[in-house]
Amino acid sequence: MLTSRSVKGEVKRPTIADVAREAGVSQASVSFALNGQRGVSESTRRRVIAVAKEIGWNPNGAARALSGAASNTIGIALRRPARILGIEPFFMELISGVEAELSTRSYALTLQVVADQAAELAVYRRWWGERRVDGVLVCDLRVDDPRIHVLEELSLPTVVLGAAAGSRSLGNVWSDDAAAIVEAVEYLAALGHRRIARVGGLPELLHTAIRTDAFAESCRRMGVEAAVTISSDYTGEEGARATRRLLSSADRPTAVIYDNDIMAVAGLGVAHEMGLSVPGDVSLVAWDDSPLCQLVHPALTALSRDIPGYGAIAARQLLSVIAGSSAESIQDDAPHLVTRGSTAAPSPKAAPKPAPKPAPKPAPTKTAVGKRSARPPRAATSPRTS
């Protein structure tokens, strides 16, 4: 490969002008040839492409963007302390799924960590103004989220992850969290649990509210005596603290459902620390089934979902919105329960026997593994009774 160098030793990037001169045609012809436009003969096209390759020409994205081309980049603005990012498996898995989809299309992902909502909105405005991204992925929706309004106003292609709160023009991808938590509650109730607690995520997030409501509602329906939700912030520390509080209360719950895996794992540690056996004394259920859940002992029963797949679907939808198709709302598979060693019937003294109205499932080790592999029939939501 030839590399022309300027006096300073700096490599000079070849432009289409160089290609044009070398190939003996006009710049316009080069542009046509390289972009598969009609207007050049096949022989000229081949020659131009050969020359371009030979002198190591690369399109200048800035120049293209200036002429209105796409940036081939999508953006995600993350509002959370940058340092926390690394310990949040959800995000990384999500991003890995997004990347998996983008990388096949040679799209790049731009990440920007922002401190607060104002900064996040400023980032969107800047990205839009600078044409730096073709579209954005938005997550952690809040009640009455102002981002929706801003993004609609800018008409920046957007896909929202999670339940869409009243956005008409933005795409969204969501899964039925309520159904998932109902599945977990029904399973625990069928095992005989009558005191179930939940360690929930940040209460200001939309999906937390949805889960909290569904939890309370289904516990009531299943005749669960005590159903508390403690709010937390997804960190292991908070999860441990909440667990400690729950397990040291007078009538401690016989089962705890966590809003993420980190907290569940931390909760398991606390149970061990307090000399309680899992699942003998207390059953634990995690939300999100990262490898963590399978590595600890006993392995954690979890509400599993294919997070990379979720990200991939969102990315795919965003790309199609960018390509011009209208924004729609896509429902992803609901998380499904994968039972493992951390759940069992409560010890006899803690719970009597009677089965409630819905016939309890056969229950025990429904070791769901294989199903997820190739993630095929995205239909079938969980068997939602009543």
Q: Which stretches of the chain bind DNA, using CB under 7 A?
A: 13, 15-17, 24-29, 31-32, 34-35, 37-44, 57-60, 62-64, 66-69
Copy the structure tokens of residue 68: 């209105």
Q: Where are the alpha helices (DSSP H) in the chain?
A: 16-23, 27-34, 42-54, 61-66, 82-85, 89-104, 117-130, 146-154, 177-191, 206-221, 236-247, 261-273, 291-295, 307-322
| Residue 154 found at the interface with a copy of itself (CB under 8 A) | yes
- Which CB atom, from 41 or from 96, has the smaller least distance to a copy of itself? 96
Among 94, 161, 191, 227, binds a copy of itself (CB under 8 A): 94
Sheet-wide strand order for 301-304:
226-231, 195-200, 255-258, 283-287, 301-304, 336-338
Report in angstroms how near the CB of residue 341 gets to a copy of itself at its nearest.
11
- Which CB atom, from 48 or from 338, has the smaller least distance to DNA? 48
Report in angstroms how near the CB of residue 371 gets to a copy of itself at its nearest.
17
Among 149, 220, 297, 357, binds a copy of itself (CB under 8 A): 297
Strand partners, 332: 175
Residues 155-184 that bind a copy of itself (CB under 8 A): 155
Copy the structure tokens of residue 62: 């800035």
Angle (CA) 203 316 288, round 5°: 35
Q: Which does 40 bind (CB under 5 to 8 A by kind): DNA, a copy of itself, none?
A: DNA
- Which CB atom, from 199 or from 350, has the smaller least distance to a copy of itself? 199
Give the largest Cα separation in the chain, rounded: 91
- Which CB atom, from 64 or from 244, has the smaller least distance to DNA? 64
| Residue 132 found at the interface with a copy of itself (CB under 8 A) | yes
Report in angstroms how near the CB of residue 113 gets to a copy of itself at its nearest.
4
Among 29, 73, 158, 343, binds a copy of itself (CB under 8 A): 73
Give Cα separations from 110 to 61, 72, 87, 135, 342 (angstroms).
15, 10, 20, 10, 39
HSE toward the beta carbon, residue 330, CA cutoff 13 A: 24
Map residues 1-30 to x or -, x wherever contact with a copy of itself holds by CB under 8 A. Answer: --x------xx-x-----------------
